[in-house]
Structure 1
């Protein structure tokens, strides 16, 4: 997490070119028809079931539009530490792919829907499901005015193959989001992800408020933010009670 803050500080120090209102609005649009690469991190200093355990997950995400389909590929690198047992596990998680067909693609409203799949690429059993999964995802993004943008992302997946000895998979995730531009590329944000394990009956519903900064350097739009999130509803072990969501997103 320290390395990510160093990157953000460095970007603040660089010369910044003016951004248009459209670029500011589209910087947080998950359906923007722009090639993008994101580096995101979720860090939790305490988990349910063991207040001493910590987790940190870095996500590398690449998005590329081809016609009316936006492809988004994601790969996580996670670390889980448990001082009680002295065990620390790090490695790659399951590869994730979402192909969003842009049913609506307008300047003020974007709606995408399509298949969502994952492959069992985790390097350790605790970092992945051990299953091939498939399902569907839908996302909407609305620019209500130059200051306020809102929307949401919903994903459902179930297992379709893989290790028969591993638990079945049936998951649902929903991410509502809102962004309020306050000027000069600065904005407030809220984008918690609510996770539901329909197979085990566990869930985690966090709420969060953060701050971000959008800047354009040459032809690249940089968007970096930090958003603390607190779980208001949760059930099951190893659920983040408090987590910090931070990222550096780039649109080319």
Structure 2
């Protein structure tokens, strides 16, 4: 996380020259933050948890390697998104901290545009690719994902909802039944800066655990050649929770790169 923060500081410090040479428009700013924009996108995100409930305030971290690819299978506009986490677990006895790959998540959205609103809905699948028991569930999971986006002149309103349930895998591992909701708001500022709030609410439907964080952060968008870059940092505080291991405080930061069609 410290390396990513140093990279962010260096990039932001260099931005006045880049923005003056080729600054993205308001439409391009919205497109850079819109998860339904039909462009090839690569993301490197980091979710640093500074403290967790019931774990002696031990920290943990997850680097999310994510990509989005638009396509038109069967002639219908769609996009597929993959996410592969690389997680570092809290340093707790008896195993201590573990670092390794997590479970690979995929979902495919069918894209629909209405007046003033955009929709994406489709199936999702999680594959148990974790390199350690501590960094994954050991379960195959399937479910649905849905996105709603309402572009505004000043930014974006929207949300992502996913649900999945385990159907196969290690019989010794707990059954999974999870719902997540990520409401977000983007408010554009001058000079291609923006404010953001995009914390994900997680609900363990099987055991009744949940966490509801709220975030407030800032981001910067710029162009290098034809690619659009988007870097952000968003501290998030949990305002409601139940269960052991849910975060008290976390920092979500990352870099998104969109490639021209």
Using the size of structure 1 for normalisation, the TM-score is: 0.95
- Give, in whole Å, the separation in 1 of the partners of 2:201 and 2:233: 18
Corresponding residue for 1:153?
Answer: 160
Structure 1: tracts of 5 or more residues without a match: none
- Aligned length in residues: 250
Does residue 56 in structure 1 map to residue 61 in structure 2?
yes
The CA deviation string for residues 173-204 of structure 1, in whole angstroms up to 9 with x for no partner, is 00000000011110100001000000111000
Quote how far apart the aligned CAs of 1:142 are.
Answer: 1.2
- Give, in whole Å, the separation in 1 of the partners of 2:167 and 2:112: 27
- Give, in whole Å, the separation in 2 of the partners of 1:245 and 1:234: 18
Which structure shows the bigger proportion of residues in helix conformation?
Answer: 2
Specify whether residues 83 and 165 from structure 1 end up closer, same or farther in structure 2 by C-alpha distance, changes over 3 A only.
closer
The CA deviation string for residues 143-190 of structure 1, in whole angstroms up to 9 with x for no partner, is 121x12100000000011111111001000000000000111101000
Q: Residues 179 and 190 of structure 1 are in contact (CA less than 8 Å); yes or no, is this contact kept in structure 2? A: yes
Structure 2: tracts of 5 or more residues without a match: none
- Give, in whole Å, the separation in 1 of the partners of 2:6 and 2:79: 31
- Select 1:128's aligned residue among 128, 136, 155: 136
The CA deviation string for residues 91-140 of structure 1, in whole angstroms up to 9 with x for no partner, is 0000000100002277x532100001100000111111100000001001
- Select 1:78's aligned residue among 81, 87, 108: 87
Written as runs of structure 1 = structure 2, the 5 A alignment for 1:1-252 is 1-12=1-12, 13=14, 15-16=17-18, 17-67=22-72, 68-82=77-91, 87-104=96-113, 108-145=116-153, 147-252=154-259
Which structure shows the bigger proportion of residues in strand conformation?
Answer: 1
CA RMSD of aligned residues (A): 1.5
